Structure 1
Amino acid sequence: MSQIYKSPKICIVGCGIMGLSSAYCLAKYYQGADITIYSKDVPPNTTSNAGYGIVFCRSYDSKMYSKKIGEWSSETSRYCSELLKNPDNASKMGINPVDGFLVMTKKEILEVEKDPDRESIVHSPSLRSSCTYFRECTPGEIQDKFLSKNAQFDILLDVPKADAQFNNLSFYIYGTFIIDTDLYLLWMQNEMKNMVERGQLRNFKVEQRHVDHLSDLCNKDFDLIVNCSGLGAGKLVGDPLVSAIRAQWFLIRAPEITNLYYAGRTCICPRPGRVSLGSVFQWDRYDTEIDPVVTKDNWDRAKSLFPEIQENQILGEYVRLRPGRRGGARLEFERMTGHGKSMPVIHNYGHAGTGIGQHWGCALNVLEISKAVLLNGKSKL
């Protein structure tokens, strides 16, 4: 007979936003649970700490994203909206509302509409639901945010001049959130520690350690393992679809930039005390040295919209490897065997460059799967 666990002992592998949000979501539901996180890297040194923090999801491509990206991002957006009902607490958590602008060529919009493997927020209700609002810009907004700056759209969008003529462009404005992950990850850890003190959790701890193979954890006395190991999942569970997506960007001091901008590969993202400028999306590239060609490309595209920014405003330039997975994120149940024992595992990894935007929707999905395994006593899903 299958056993039912109401106060389970849970192991999370990974301490980025997927690991911590999964842990926190499970902790809120399973009163008296014992939760342990194993991770090679812990905040503030995770991939999530370096992320832009954007909840908005502008596109879907079946080669790199799960079909559920819109659903997961929408849940995260709703969660952030709820948190903002308590502004003081939201501020402590690092949840910041922002208005964003999106520029696309009409040619790209048409190409995406005809491609069955891609979707754009322009035509996708699912992706639009990841915003608090989404509409076309008014002429006044276009003038204020772009034309008054003499924007060079061919450089900004990295397209031929003919495609970048004003009549060939579409402009949109939307509402979304920027999450300061330095604050947010720390808040979730502290909140689970507080839950232990309040008697809501039996135990919570983060242990900085490397796990070679997920099956090695089967000889522990855990009731459930949640695999949120990001890029490390490739080796951890032998997933050949996992690969690095290299990113490179600047951080600058520019308090006058208060809106989020997306245009082609260009992303200009205001964050507390700094602005991120970039980026690149380079599959299967694992080097982490600064590439001077990318440096010039990122800087030129940013200056095509904000010509006033100067090099003395640069706070730093960075390279990180995002956890990509061909075909999209893996969020599913598996019963794993190791050391002669069987262990229920929920995989939650491979979210590419949009994990922060999807994290709470994914955490809720992890919780739902866990209920079927731990509360209903099912051995398979």
Structure 2
Amino acid sequence: MGPKADQLRTELRELVKEHVPEHFLGAFTDDPADLETAQNFCRILAERDLLCLAWPKEFGGGGASVWEQTVVREEMWAHHEPRGAQYMGVNWVGPIIMRHGTPEQQRKHLPPIARGEVIWCQGFSEPEAGSDLASLRTTARRDGDGWLVSGQKIWTSYATMAQWCFLLARTSRGERKQQGLTIFLVPMDDPAIQVRPIRAMLGPHHLNEVFFDDLRVTEADVLGKVGEGWSIVQDVLAFERVGIARYARCERLLAAAPTVLGDRWDDLPAELRTRWMRMLTHCRRARLMAYRVISLQAGGQVQPGDAAAYRIAVTKLDQDSAEVLMDIAAEVSHDDPGAKWFLGEVEDHWRYSQASTVSSGSIEMQRILLSRSMLAGAK
């Protein structure tokens, strides 16, 4: 990406080294200090105009290119996302509000995101509407000059700590299930909202159930037009699926393996070293696919099939590289203090990878989207 990107990478790595503990494995652990580390790091990035680097300056960003923001994504994900849940606000909540929000919504929501002060969660999936999101049952029924929202969401990341929810609900029924859906921007401290954590192998705070019991919303809470939320959802998913640079963490851990093993590296079975090399190749492939989609997105030309192809490649990379790294880690001496960070990060990467082909739209749905796109292009 050129010398400017190299300088940015160096700056980000120095900030991580200075402000993030060596054995940091993300913000969502049993230790409250990890969340505070992430929140503090966000404030540091924001003070340097690095948190929302590519946002327009009028919205509190740095006015940089999407490629500089890509460098930030890669370095953050490679180092266990020390921004915590802020990537959601930075990568897609903010850009979607810029594109579809009213001036008042932009003034209200964008500056706090740019300052790293607010955490968002996404109210999309439901017990019977995951990959088939348009089948959701959460409803918003008219009540005077507003609506009352009732229903349940599930697998909602960060809901226990979020201040705002990007909520999708049904306001009417049309001929197609994608019709009559509306986006609401709602505060999570409303007493009509109840959050129940779901314990999982990913650790605490990642996943939750969220219940809405006659939550009152108004016209001011509607993002875009009433009943036309599905088009916004498509924008959300395109930003979300490309916004996480999963390949960067895979590549960092794979590249570190020979150094961690030292002289023992040459004693590994040839088959394992071949798998290791194949995973490095797949990292480069996923990176190039991400760059292609980012380029298309910047030009307003990205299609669902483009994001789906990248998503398939990078989530498979997550799982396949995790298996290779676990096999390599089995050869590392647990008595070696210099290898402790590697063993901890590899295990964390393996745990996270187990859900990667389900989150943000299952890999089966991505294959359907890609197939439809290829068939449409062949006509």
What is the TM-score of this pair, normalised by structure 2?
A: 0.26
Higher RCO structure, 1 or 2 (CA under 8 Å, sep 6+): 1
Q: Which of the pair is proportionally richer in helix?
A: 2
